[in-house]
Structures are given as C-alpha cells and as structure tokens.
Amino acid sequence: MDELALKYGCNPNQKPARVYSEDGTLPFKVLNGKPGYINLLDALNSWQLVSELKEATGLPAAASFKHVSPAGAAVAVPLSPVLEKVYFVEGVELSPVATAYIRARGADRMSSYGDFVALSDECDAQTASFLKREVSDGVIAPSYTDEALAILKEKRKGSYLVLQMDPAYRPAPLEKKQVFGVWFEQQRNDVKITEDCLTEIPTKAKEIPESARRDLLLALITLKYTQSNSVCYAKDGQAIGIGAGQQSRVHCTRLAGNKADNWFLRQSPDVLNLPFRDDVRRPDRDNAIDVYVTGEGDEMFAEGEWQRLFTEKPSVFTEEKKAAWLKKLKDVSLASDAFFPFGDNIERAARSGVAYIAQSGGSIRDDNVIESCDKYGIAMAMTHIRLFHH
C-alpha cells in the first residue's frame, strides 16, 4: 500500500488524514510542497477534466478549481486583442498550454483566487511564469520542463504545490467512499462525451456549427466534474459562467448566467478604459472591476475612496449602458448536467446570448422547453446523458 500523510482533512480538527492506494503506488508524484486534503480532491478531479477535454477536442486544456468545482475551464483557442487586455497578457505571444490556462483563469478571476490548476500538457516556462504571478495553491500536470519547475519552486517561498500526474493511470472500474460509517460503491462515471451525443436536435433550429459543438463538449465535460446541480455557459473555447451546487436548476442557470454577463461586461469600453493607478495589483483590479460591473459596493467609488485605485474618478456604469453592451453577447453555448424541468431556464439563458444548448432531456415538460428554444431560435441537442457529480 502506498500512502501519503496529510496535515489534516477538510478542516484543522479532522486529524489524522491521509491518502493511499490499495492497489499499488499513488498515480501522482509530489515534486514540491505538501498537499492538503482539498488540494488533492481538486487535483484529481481537475486532472480528469483536462485530460478528457484534450481527448475530446485535440487541444491542450486547463482548469482552475476551487472547492472541488471548476471556476474555469478552457482549451487553447487564440485570444482576441480585447481578451488579451482583459486577461492582462497584452502583446504576449502565448504557447498553447499557456493560452488554455489564461482562458481558464479568465473565466471568473475572482473565484479563481487561490485556485488549484490542472494542465493537460507539459507545463512550460511561460505557463509557470503566469502561475507564479497569480494567487494559486498548486498545479497538476503530466510533466514540467526544467525551467518551469525551477520557476514554480520559487513560488510562495518555496511551498507551492507541484504534482506530476501519471497520464497512463487508469483507476479500477468500481469506486467507493465512506459517509458516516457507511460504504458507498458505484461504477465510475466513465461515460465518453463526444459529438455523438449532439445528434438528436428536436428544435426547429438544427444547425450547430463546429465551434459551438466544441464549446458544448467543453461545457458538458466541465459539468461532469462540477458539483450538482450545475450549468455551464461557454464561448470561444472556454467556460464563461459556471453555476455549481444549487438545489434549483433555474437558480443555477441564473448564477452561471450572471457570471457569463460579468465576463462579457469586463470587455466593454467602460471597463477597459477604467483609469487604474499603475501601483494597483491584479487582485485589487479584479475586485474593483467586479464592483464596477455589478454595482455592488459603490462606496469604493465614493469621494476619498476612488483615489486609492484610480487616477481620476470613473464614470458611472449605468444599467442602461450595461444592457446595451450585453445585447452584443451572441452565439453562447450552454450545457446542463441534467434536464431542464421548465422553460424559465431557457428564458434566462436567452438573456445571455445563448444560441446552442446541450441537455439530457427526459423531463415531462420537454415540449415546453423545446417551445421556449424555438421562441428564441435556439438549437438544442438532447444528449440522454446525466452528469450528476457529488
């Protein structure tokens, strides 16, 4: 038996704690730092996500995890000049794996603060340099260049967690866990998410272009490793809004939709032209931008406060300006980890530019959901695959 002692479990009072493999060696190596219980939950879930994304799309993939759900996930689709500015990489020629990471981190930068990162491909020096400058707890990848590993070992005063995953590892078909002294056992969720699950399209709109199919696959695979109920909005090869762990699906759709809206609002001229002082750090910029686009905490821009962040007082980002900008958000893909029970989910999705949907189907109100899609010209595929994850 191969085992690794941990400082504690989910909380400091949960001691002792360890991870172990009954069937041989652990499938990962600790190259730097000391892993925690939640670190490893994030690492092993996020690794599965990025490896499946790479298999499904053929593109390098990355994920940003927090509390055993992704804050972002992406594949290596080149960035537009606007996104380069939004993601703080203007004028930088990015490697494919760095592009995937920058996109994954950029989906919801506030939620990614202190994340655990997964990379489907070897971590290069450029990606390591971006990791070094962000607030992050650790990374898992199949390999690291010598230069990348040296960079990462300098992060967090030498304590940054670096895990190397064995890409050839395949777990046993049955998995088990214990809850309150009771053992649970089930077949691993090894269902393959491929374009074959996007062939049944009962809506009037039938066309789902190649880019949207890629985004739907990305969203579905992301949901496979997101705590349920879960909904994911995706565009241009990345998640732009992930809702996790909601008891009501429409609340999940609203939560993820609001995140998608905020992602797009960050690309508006009002936000891009915010007059930040040069000495304001990226996390503080992220927080200020979130306040600016949501309108929460206007005291930040009160007299005597804005000078800490800006060279001049920003103009008000009015609800009218926001609504006008959000009308430009188009061709968004949306996936759900189970069926939509009511058309209200579609109504909310349409407000965030959703044109393509993938969901399991099987609700007694599927006809109502299809009718709602037809109302907005949305093409919807019924996958017949449920992706609950707990």
User: Which residue in the block uniquely carries the two structure tokens 């069926």?
Assistant: 339
CA 324 to each of CA 235, 288, 318: distance values in angstroms, whole numbers, following the listed order:
20, 21, 10
Q: Which amino acid is at 335?
A: A
DSSP conformation letters of 116-139: EEEESS-B-HHHHHHHHHS-EEEE
Active site residue 67: yes
**Any idea what DSSP says for residue 316?**
P
What distance in Å separates the CA atoms of residue 290 and residue 271, rounded to the nearest whole number? 10
What distance in Å separates the CA atoms of residue 18 and residue 46, rounded to the nearest whole number? 20
Helix (H, G, I), strand (E, B) or coil at 262: helix
CA 122 to each of CA 103, 136, 144, 145: distance values in angstroms, whole numbers, following the listed order:
17, 18, 5, 7
Active site residue 389: no
Which residues have a Cβ under 8 Å from the Cβ of 13 and sit 6 or more positions away?
none
165 touches 142 (CB < 8 A):
yes
Q: Which of 32, 39, 45, 229 is catalytic?
A: 229
Q: Which of 67, 85, 251, 389 is catalytic?
A: 67
Active site residue 390: yes
What distance in Å separates the CA atoms of residue 365 and residue 11, rounded to the nearest whole number? 42
Which residues have a Cβ under 8 Å from the Cβ of 196 and sit 6 or more positions away?
none
Active site residue 229: yes
Kindly tell me the burial class for residue 273, based on how many C-beta atoms sit within 10 Å of its own C-beta (0-12, 13-18, 19 or more). exposed
Q: Which of 45, 54, 66, 262 is catalytic?
A: 66
Closest by Cα among 322, 166, 348 to 254:
348
User: Which residue in the block uniquely carries the two structure tokens 């609504």?
Assistant: 323
Q: Which residues are catalytic?
A: 66-67, 229, 390
